[in-house]
Chains A and B, each alone.
Chain A
């Protein structure tokens, strides 16, 4: 078939330049974009922010204090004056749950912060390798061979004896702090082991970067994804552990109260005043759910390979 000349036209210069250009997206922007698409994780994030705001500002706005007793109004059910009712000493339960949120959440965040120490431990262990790695990891393995809860119980028994004056809160921070860096150390070490064989590390070596610089500026930033996920998931676990310990009498002592203590105190009068148990228990469950969902969402967003 004959080809007519009209079919062969020179390209317009303007057309040549049209390329498909996408603005370059950093890892974090990409992760945030993925997280925003996950309605459950975003919902959880909103819930967490609301809980945080209520824990910080709620007690200031409440007309009652957490330890104010009013025997004329004890064991009341929920009402307009006392939203969650009052407890056996006439204390406003809503205010106490808000205060409990401060304590429970602070324990969660301390655990998350401490777990960041594990980043350094695991990083050094994985990066240095050899016998150093062996010794450092054997120690972690030994700690791992019995459940954290038993370690924490042991430490709480001891710490509460040596510092009886500060109502167990500091003891709780220390006891949780001493174990919560362990899982992080393991995860980071695993990451570093695979990362340190990669070309960009070799490149850093060849241009003469120091070992400390390679570890802190090249390796650790590259495992931030799993680190953030692990730290986020450490929060609900610590809140859970605190509730558990308070329930067996090793938690924060009166008149301060965490959610676990509130739930534990309510057990005595469960039959007559179930609302005393209901509100703190609901607070625990909602918070745990929100952090777990957020953690799962973060994992999907930060580590696309893990996606199912």
Chain B
């Protein structure tokens, strides 16, 4: 167990180092550099700016410098917003994204799991078809289509909800639905197929044969086992919510980190792109690690050693 955790940790660190190196290289070998504008700066000023951000030094020095700051949790300054560091930006913007993302994740779980179970319990009947219909639409509809449709009807046509920006609970509703669309559809399908599998297991027959109350069979023997695979989806779920936020926060003008990330792509604010990418990667790698470690605790049938061999 301990060995496994250490291995996984080391492995995650290695993955992170690769990500940092690759993104660092991408952002630093871009020709022209970040301070090349349409209007050329005077040579002396450009030199000064480059010296200020240590861009005049050889690449490997810059890299080592960046890494040593990174270890201390310092992601460096923003090129575009003078006086702001990447850390400042994350500290300011990320809570908004977390708020929106949490609502979306809860929405996806609380809508997806019950509808998947409902569909499985009524296989090939109306509820099943209804759930499968909507989950198919959810998978085929990009978040920006859901988002813009919601915005067009709910706020332009019917004036029910504010169309953009942030601040009140009403502002959360539409972006959260747009973000949750795809994951909800996935979770519903996942839960449905795993519930169908559980329902066909022998221990379900045993439970019925023993004469256990229907409610107990359903909850303790059925649903409890059926939602275990959903736990493995938590990693991809967070990743999906996170990348989805790039688009959804832009549509609804939510001042979150996703919107800022896209803005810095427009602005060619390379340190912010680099820093936020690394931040996201740390988050996701940590999330995946957590899911891998928690999974055997939830499902004792899976031993860590076995999973190690699968990898």
Contacts and interface: CB of A to CB of B under 8 A. Distances in A.
Given A157-B273, A284-B142, A289-B140, A270 B247 contact: no
Nearest to A144: B15
Contacts of B239: 146-147
A142 B14 contact: yes
Contacts of A155: 26
A161 B240 CA distance: 27
A270 B12 contact: no
A292 B140 contact: yes
B142 A145 contact: no
B19 interface: yes
A46 interface: no
A249 B30 contact: no
A158 B26 CA distance: 6
A146 B281 contact: yes
A15 B112 CA distance: 61
Contacts of B136: 289, 292-293
A263 B281 contact: no
Contacts of A240: 142
Interface string B12-25: 10110011001100
Given A145-B285, A157-B265, A248-B246, A243 B30 contact: no
A270 B148 contact: yes
A146 B141 contact: no
Interface in A196-254: 236, 240, 243-244, 247-250
Contacts of B26: 154-155, 157-158
A308 B152 CA distance: 39
Interface residues of B, number: 49
Nearest to B289: A145
Taking residues whose C-beta sits less than 8 angstroms from the other chain, chain A's interface range is 35 or more
A288 interface: yes
A140 to B, nearest CB: 11
A303 to B, nearest CB: 15
B145 A281 contact: yes
Per DSSP, chain B at the interface is helix
B140 A248 contact: no
Nearest to A282: B145
A284 B143 CA distance: 12
A243 to B, nearest CB: 6
A147 B284 contact: yes
A297 B251 CA distance: 34
A299 B258 CA distance: 35
Per DSSP, chain A at the interface is helix
B274 to A, nearest CB: 9
A179 interface: no
A243 B143 CA distance: 10
Nearest to A267: B148
B140 A267 contact: no
Nearest to A264: B144
Residue of A157, A236, A270 with highest tally of chain B CB at under 10 A: A157
A141 B15 contact: yes
Contacts of A281: 142, 145, 148-149
B30 A154 contact: no
Contacts of B148: 263, 267, 270, 277, 281
Given A154-B23, A161-B30, 20 more contacts: A141-B311, A145-B288, A146-B15, A158-B30, A161-B32, A243-B144, A248-B262, A263-B144, A263-B145, A270-B152, A270-B156, A271-B156, A277-B148, A281-B145, A281-B148, A284-B142, A288-B141, A288-B142, A292-B136, A292-B139
Interface of A: 141-142, 145-147, 149-150, 153-155, 157-158, 161-162, 236, 240, 243-244, 247-250, 263-264, 267, 270-271, 274, 277, 281, 284-285, 288-289, 292-293, 308
10 contacts: A146-B281, A147-B243, A153-B265, A154-B23, A240-B142, A244-B243, A249-B265, A263-B145, A285-B141, A292-B140
